[in-house]
Each structure stands twice: as C-alpha cells, then as structure tokens.
A and B are shown apart, each in its own frame.
Chain A
Amino acid sequence: AQRVTQPEKLLSVFKGAPVELKCNYSYSGSPELFWYVQYSRQRLQLLLRHISRESIKGFTADLNKGETSFHLKKPFAQEEDSAMYYCALLNYGGSQGNLIFGKGTKLSVKP
C-alpha cells in the first residue's frame, strides 16, 4: 500500500541554521510528491512539488528514488518558517485523485 512517513513530529532549530524535514514514501513506480505547509491560523497550502523542480521561500526538495525519500531542505532557517509541514503522495490507486499525507512535522525556528 502507498504510504508516507515523516519520522519527526517536532524539529527545533535556531535561526540561520540549516533545516531538513524528512519524508519517505512507499510506492514502486514514479511518484508525484508534494510538500504542504500550514502556518499558524492559516489554511493548508502547497509549498512545492517535485515535478516543478522549484525553490520556494528558499526551500528545495529532491526526489531520491533509490532511498524513496523526498526530504525538504533549507540552508538558513528563518523564524517565519515556523509551521507544520506535511509531505504528500498522489494516490495512484483508485481514481488517482486524492493525496496521501504523512503525519506532519512541526518546525520551530528559535531566534
């Protein structure tokens, strides 16, 4: 079955430090993967997707098929990056519409 695992519930770093939020998935084919972010008192929103190969707000994520990982990275964390981050995998079964989410990682960036 398809699954997304985010091993860290909470990640705390100091401002200016590098940050890496881990995401592993289980799917044998070519996945379509996303990172969603939810800032305090805001709705869940798309941060980036691997097929776009873009950097958003300084974040990047590289798909590693060998390790079945899609870790989110930023070289210098900012306080405004504090939020809940969810990794998600497009469901390839059924009607191929919904996303399969990890349980999320809460990132706290301290001043």
Chain B
Amino acid sequence: GAGVSQSPSNKVTEKGKDVELRCDPISGHTALYWYRQRLGQGLEFLIYFQGNSAPDKSGLPSDRFSAERTGESVSTLTIQRTQQEDSAVYLCASSLVTGFGTANEQFFGPGTRLTVL
C-alpha cells in the first residue's frame, strides 16, 4: 500500500510568514510523529499523536509551533512567524501502535524541506 506522504516537498518562505506542512500517514496507523532535522543534526522530536489521546507536545521548540490531527488521518504542522532557525527538513512518521514491541516500527515520509529567507 501507499506509504507516508508529505506535502509540499519543498517550501521557501520569508521570515515572519506562517507555513503549514501536511502529513498523510499509512492507513490504519494510530500513531503519528513529527520530527525535524536541521543541517548536520540528528532528528529532533517535535510532537506525537496517539489515537484520541492528547498529543505529546513536549518536543515543540516554541509556541510558534503547533500541530493538529483529524482522527487517525491527516496531520498539519503549523509554524507561525517563521524564523531563519526554523529552516530544516520536517519529517513525519506513523506506526501501527506505540510503546514496546515489534508493531511500533515507525515509517517515515519523504520530508518537507523548509527554507526561511
């Protein structure tokens, strides 16, 4: 079946503008994750959704970042008043379940490359 998809693949914006990034997880996956990867760095956890539970927002770097998920489908990550340090590749992943065990494999999307001028 189709994997995780993300749009747009590339986004160039001006400092101070708002951006929305979209993620379509694998159908049936209850967990959805957002990570970002700045140049030369590892993946940094941002936010995590699990079913109808309250999302784990512990990784969001500031209140300019927010994310929503509709049920167990699409998620959007919004960055308000973008700054140059927000430039990164934003990766979305989904998994069948969360926690321990072999069903928690995270499947990644291709990412959105965000450039803030």
Residues of A within 8 A of B (CB): 4, 6, 32, 43-46, 49, 51-52, 86, 88, 90-91, 94-104
In the complex, how many angstroms separate the beta carbon of A95 from the nearest chain B beta carbon?
4
Q: Using a Cβ cutoff of 8 Å, how many contacts connect chains A and B?
A: 64
Number of interface residues of B (CB under 8 A): 31
Tell me, in angstroms, the Cα distance from A32 to B111 when the chains sit together: 25
Contact string against A for B residues 1-37, beta-carbon threshold 8 Å, 1 for contact and 0 otherwise: 0011000000000000000000000000001010100
Q: How far is the CA of A103 from the CA of B31 in the complex (A)?
A: 24
Q: Please give 12 more A-B residue pairs, beta carbons under 8 A apart, in addition to A95-B53, A98-B59, A99-B43.
A: A44-B91, A49-B102, A52-B102, A88-B43, A94-B56, A94-B58, A96-B100, A97-B50, A99-B33, A102-B42, A103-B40, A104-B42
Contact A96 B111 (CB under 8 A): no
Q: Return B43 CB to nearest CB of chain A, in Å.
A: 4
Q: Report which B residues bind A (CB closer than 8 A).
A: 3-4, 31, 33, 35, 40-45, 48, 50, 53, 56, 58-59, 91, 98-102, 104-111
